[in-house]
Structure 1
Amino acid sequence: MKKRIESDSIGSLEVPEKAYYGVQALRAKQNFAITGNMMNSEFLNNLALIKKAAAITNYKAGLLDYDKAKAICSAAEEVIKGYFKDDFIVDAVQGGAGTSANMNMNEVIANRANELLGGKLGYYDKIHPNDHVNMAQSTNDVIPTAGKMTVIRLMQPLTDELRRLESTLYEKALQFRYVIKMGRTQLQDAVPMTLGESFGGYASMIDRCCSRLENSCLEMHTINIGATAIGSGINASDYYERNIAKILSKEFGHHLTKAADLFDATENLDSFVEISGALKACAVSLSKMCNDLRLLSSGPRCGLHEINLPAKQNGSSIMPGKVNPVIPEVVTQAAFLVIGHDTTIAMAAEAGQLELNAFEPVVFYQLFESITVLTHAVTTLIDNCIKGITANSDHCEELEEGSVGIATALSPILGYQKSASIAKQALHEEKTIREIVLEQKLMDPEKLDVVLDPMSMVGMIRSA
């Protein structure tokens, strides 16, 4: 492979002749072989979009001539179209607060812009990575801005899927509205309810999760672009500072607002901690629901077996016919991942010092993965599990009728003490509550039928 020589303040390196990246990206590749994963593609697209918006703003400010601005914009648009994927060579987790990511983008755009203007790769005589592509910018404002833009982009598919999950759960709540079952607290029989009420509760929980995510995402629209190095805006023109957020918003398609205090917005990452916390809360809720689904479907002969989950694949290499709840299991594992990422994000945000947090790369690596993994988990949960759930209505009713929990309905008539005695006797003699009450002639059969009517008990619970 033919090489070209590029130099920076550290020294000189041989760069592949046809590479659009340059010496600084290559140094980062050599220094940061950490995860083996390159930077998120949506993050790179947004970083390129910032470079385009900056070029437009600097042109309008009279600091970048038309040909240079046009070449930078054209190169950035090509990056967004995915033309130079193999030239973004920096590991997602990198030292330097994202300087390597920023320079990888600057070099790719500069080399392509030079090429468009008739120049050669590696010769930055027409367009320079720092002087032109990075004009009026710093790693410290473009990287967090690109990070927030990426969260906005990635969050929409997640909230869309969560709303679809909410809708699917409400459909199941309607479908199961007349299926009487036994409610349980601490895994012990409690009082009757409908299976529809269980699924309605899940739907309400998901609605709350979605609202929490949508609210926390609002902070992502406040950016520190124009802050440059630490918040003072050094090397950025007055025109740039006044207009870059507006021009970037137009290119991005979402309204972005420059932070009122650019020093605060540059050094503090609490907004990312908040949205990670909302993701964690969502993950916890999803996993809790999946735990319930696994319990309710347990068996089929030796468990609760109140519902059936769709059979998706063989469950054992040794036990014939075994089918496992693989979809709830994978969603729970996705939740574990998100919860672990939240801890990393919190630690990284706390570790910032003075005017900059150097640990944004790991924050973004974990945060983007949390959103993406949760989105995919919700999709498979809807399509491969929730939609196909069926109820074992007769078995649910049989369990409810045989439970001692229905003794609760006797308390207003017979008192707590007597009702507890009936429940204890029913358990000891392996009889139903109904049988014990009738044997002791504590209530006539017609009245007992009314008191122990499942729908009546569910109604009492609703009105209590």
Structure 2
Amino acid sequence: MTRFRREHDSVGEMDILENAYYGANSKRAEENFPITGLKADDKFLDALIEVKKACAIENEKLDLITTEQKDAILYACDKLLDGEYRDNFIVDPIQGGAGTSYNMNANEIIANIANEKLGGRLGVYDMVHPNDDVNKGQSTNDVIPTSGKIALIRYFIELKDECENLLASLEKKSEEFKDVYKMGRTQLQDAVPISLGQEFNAYKCAIKRDYKRMDSAIKILSSVNLGATAIGTGLNADSTYVKEIVGVLKEITGLDLKQAEDLVDGTQNLDSFLFSSSILKTFATSLSKISNDLRLMSSGPQTGIGDINLPVRQAGSSIMPGKVNPVIPEVVNQVAFAAIGNDTTVTMAVEAGQLELNAFEPVIFYKLFESLRALKGAIYTLRVNCIDGITANKEKLQDEVEKCIGLVTALAPHIGYEKSSELAHKAQDTGKTIRALVLEEGLISEDELDKMLDFKKMITPGILEEDQLNEK
């Protein structure tokens, strides 16, 4: 038989499971917000618990709670950080109330664990109270954004670590393919020669810029408004607590946190989240463009472009035997689409803030955490299951570049644009190579032509010009 206890909050009474460590506020929120069916992000919960721990340490230092209360609260926080009692966080990540339900869920769990530690009963908050003690000197409006920023910083650090691995793989491929010549393409049409290594190096450069931008996100997220309480004025918080609390939290988290210069601004405005989201959107766009290129260059294999071969990872069809699809770039594309969509959600939520508070932080965190987790997984599988195993169809590429009409571009400075255009059309009509037509018409000697159509020189800026100057 299920047994309950009776608790109350400011709205009224609630029946709570007898052995639950959450209370009436949490249960009411669970009933009000049956939205995603998911629970709070673990990194966010870790950060929220660390905030509560820092506040208890500072409050006891200032004699605002007793040493016994502080020790009991820290005991509860440490148990939660060790993974115990986590099933008592029952609030959906998308919720009304600017995150109050998150905050009270934590306050109630910590208070109940602490009271039990001190010999009390669940639901009886006579020794440690969720609001008066665990939440002392705090408001949802400074606790939740601070917790969210700590979680985001840690996610960005993990994403950066995985990004470093991706950069190393792209560097390795750019070196491996540096002498693999092929035709570059603009607007999907043949252009001029390039090396496959140069293409992979360009991918590396784009990702490296994204990697550096992540440091900017971490820096801006490191400014927190803890100590602001409700609207940034620090009401109900001790003045010394307001000055010192971020320093205590910095020690607990090991992160280089700083208190916002203006706590009213730090509470009102969430542009730091939008800035961070835009960095993720840019990164996602870079990854999607690279994935598009990989799918195009590996298309075929018999009737497509076929510049490269992607590793075979799984059967591509339930009806076509032997078909293999570019599933890894495809999944990276989809992650990018999701991250770009999440950025739109974050944009709308940040804009929707009114006066002294933005009530929409829950959905901002939900979407940013989702993007960060998915992007980390995407670049891991892109590296391990795709890029590291890519091979080049060297002979095919060499043959194509030698026969390509686009080589005429290198001759234009010597025989003129009009003559070069005439040769291009003639090559198209006759099927002859540019080299053969130039020699046939006696436009350039074979030795000179060999120099002009040296692929290594053609793909290296300045080499042809240097040779010409030396000859003069």
> How would you bin the TM-score normalised by the shorter chain?
over 0.9
SS at match of 1:459: coil
Alpha-carbon distance between aligned partners in 1 of 2:446 and 2:100, rounded to the nearest angstrom: 80
Tell me by how many angstroms 1:424 deviates. 1.0
Tell me by how many angstroms 1:120 deviates. 0.5
Post-superposition Cα deviations, 1:239-272, rounded to whole Å, max 9, x if no partner, equal 2111100000000011211111000000111000
Alpha-carbon distance between aligned partners in 1 of 2:194 and 2:256, rounded to the nearest angstrom: 46
User: What corresponds to 1:87 in structure 2?
Assistant: 88
**Structure 1 counterpart of 2:347, one-letter code:** A
SS at match of 2:444: coil
**Structure 2 counterpart of 1:154, one-letter code:** Y
User: What corresponds to 1:203 in structure 2?
Assistant: 204
Superposed CA RMSD: 1.0
Tell me by how many angstroms 1:209 deviates. 0.5
What are the residue-to-residue correspondences of 1:335-354 with 2, within 5 Å? 335-354=336-355
Alpha-carbon distance between aligned partners in 1 of 2:220 and 2:463, rounded to the nearest angstrom: 38
Post-superposition Cα deviations, 1:77-100, rounded to whole Å, max 9, x if no partner, equal 111111012100000000000000
Indicate if the aligned counterparts of 2:458 and 2:464 stay in contact, CA closer than 8 A: no
User: What corresponds to 1:434 in structure 2?
Assistant: 435
User: What corresponds to 2:254 in structure 1?
Assistant: 253
* Residues 1:163 and 2:167 aligned together: no
Q: Decide whether aligned partners of structure 1 residues 435 and 460 sit closer, same or farther in structure 2, where only a CA change above 3 A counts.
A: farther
User: What corresponds to 1:139 in structure 2?
Assistant: 140
Q: Decide whether aligned partners of structure 1 residues 159 and 452 sit closer, same or farther in structure 2, where only a CA change above 3 A counts.
A: same
User: What corresponds to 1:458 in structure 2?
Assistant: 459
* Residues 1:219 and 2:250 aligned together: no
What are the residue-to-residue correspondences of 1:234-253 with 2, within 5 Å? 234-253=235-254
Q: Mean alpha-carbon deviation: is it higher for 278-287 or for 206-215?
A: 206-215
Tell me by how many angstroms 1:461 deviates. 6.6
User: What corresponds to 1:122 in structure 2?
Assistant: 123
Alpha-carbon distance between aligned partners in 2 of 1:70 and 1:112, rounded to the nearest angstrom: 12
Q: TM-score, normalised by structure 1?
A: 0.99
Alpha-carbon distance between aligned partners in 1 of 2:176 and 2:448, rounded to the nearest angstrom: 30
What are the residue-to-residue correspondences of 1:99-110 with 2, within 5 Å? 99-110=100-111
Q: Give structure 2 stretches of 5+ with no counterpart.
A: 466-472
**Structure 1 counterpart of 2:406, one-letter code:** G
Alpha-carbon distance between aligned partners in 1 of 2:272 and 2:56, rounded to the nearest angstrom: 28
Q: Mean alpha-carbon deviation: is it higher for 270-279 or for 432-441?
A: 432-441
Aligned residues: 464
Post-superposition Cα deviations, 1:248-302, rounded to whole Å, max 9, x if no partner, equal 0000011211111000000111000000000000000000001001111111111
Indicate if the aligned counterparts of 2:452 and 2:464 stay in contact, CA closer than 8 A: no
Alpha-carbon distance between aligned partners in 2 of 1:462 and 1:239, rounded to the nearest angstrom: 67
Tell me by how many angstroms 1:238 deviates. 1.5
**Structure 1 counterpart of 2:419, one-letter code:** K
Alpha-carbon distance between aligned partners in 1 of 2:111 and 2:46, rounded to the nearest angstrom: 16
Alpha-carbon distance between aligned partners in 1 of 2:85 and 2:211, rounded to the nearest angstrom: 35
Alpha-carbon distance between aligned partners in 2 of 1:148 and 1:460, rounded to the nearest angstrom: 45
Tell me by how many angstroms 1:401 deviates. 1.1
Alpha-carbon distance between aligned partners in 1 of 2:448 and 2:258, rounded to the nearest angstrom: 67
Alpha-carbon distance between aligned partners in 1 of 2:460 and 2:440, rounded to the nearest angstrom: 27
**Structure 2 counterpart of 1:14, one-letter code:** D
* Residues 1:149 and 2:150 aligned together: yes
**Structure 2 counterpart of 1:59, one-letter code:** E
Alpha-carbon distance between aligned partners in 1 of 2:270 and 2:448, rounded to the nearest angstrom: 64
What are the residue-to-residue correspondences of 1:314-353 with 2, within 5 Å? 314-353=315-354
Alpha-carbon distance between aligned partners in 1 of 2:18 and 2:117, rounded to the nearest angstrom: 17
* Residues 1:27 and 2:19 aligned together: no
Alpha-carbon distance between aligned partners in 2 of 1:18 and 1:460, rounded to the nearest angstrom: 73
SS at match of 2:185: strand
Q: Give structure 1 stretches of 5+ with no counterpart.
A: none
Alpha-carbon distance between aligned partners in 2 of 1:154 and 1:422, rounded to the nearest angstrom: 56
What are the residue-to-residue correspondences of 1:320-399 with 2, within 5 Å? 320-399=321-400
Tell me by how many angstroms 1:429 deviates. 1.4
Post-superposition Cα deviations, 1:421-440, rounded to whole Å, max 9, x if no partner, equal 10111111122111211222
SS at match of 1:190: strand
Tell me by how many angstroms 1:460 deviates. 4.5
Alpha-carbon distance between aligned partners in 1 of 2:382 and 2:60, rounded to the nearest angstrom: 49
**Structure 1 counterpart of 2:262, one-letter code:** D
SS at match of 2:190: strand
Alpha-carbon distance between aligned partners in 1 of 2:462 and 2:301, rounded to the nearest angstrom: 29
Q: Mean alpha-carbon deviation: is it higher for 16-25 or for 393-402?
A: 393-402
SS at match of 2:432: coil
Alpha-carbon distance between aligned partners in 2 of 1:86 and 1:62, rounded to the nearest angstrom: 32
User: What corresponds to 1:13 in structure 2?
Assistant: 14
Indicate if the aligned counterparts of 2:308 and 2:391 stay in contact, CA closer than 8 A: yes
* Residues 1:272 and 2:270 aligned together: no
Post-superposition Cα deviations, 1:308-327, rounded to whole Å, max 9, x if no partner, equal 11000000111111111100
User: What corresponds to 1:311 in structure 2?
Assistant: 312
Q: Decide whether aligned partners of structure 1 residues 287 and 463 sit closer, same or farther in structure 2, where only a CA change above 3 A counts.
A: farther
Tell me by how many angstroms 1:463 deviates. 7.2
Tell me by how many angstroms 1:456 deviates. 2.2
Alpha-carbon distance between aligned partners in 2 of 1:458 and 1:225, rounded to the nearest angstrom: 55
Q: Decide whether aligned partners of structure 1 residues 279 and 463 sit closer, same or farther in structure 2, where only a CA change above 3 A counts.
A: farther
Indicate if the aligned counterparts of 2:405 and 2:427 stay in contact, CA closer than 8 A: yes
* Identity within the alignment, %: 52
SS at match of 1:212: helix
Q: Decide whether aligned partners of structure 1 residues 381 and 463 sit closer, same or farther in structure 2, where only a CA change above 3 A counts.
A: farther
Alpha-carbon distance between aligned partners in 2 of 1:335 and 1:358, rounded to the nearest angstrom: 27
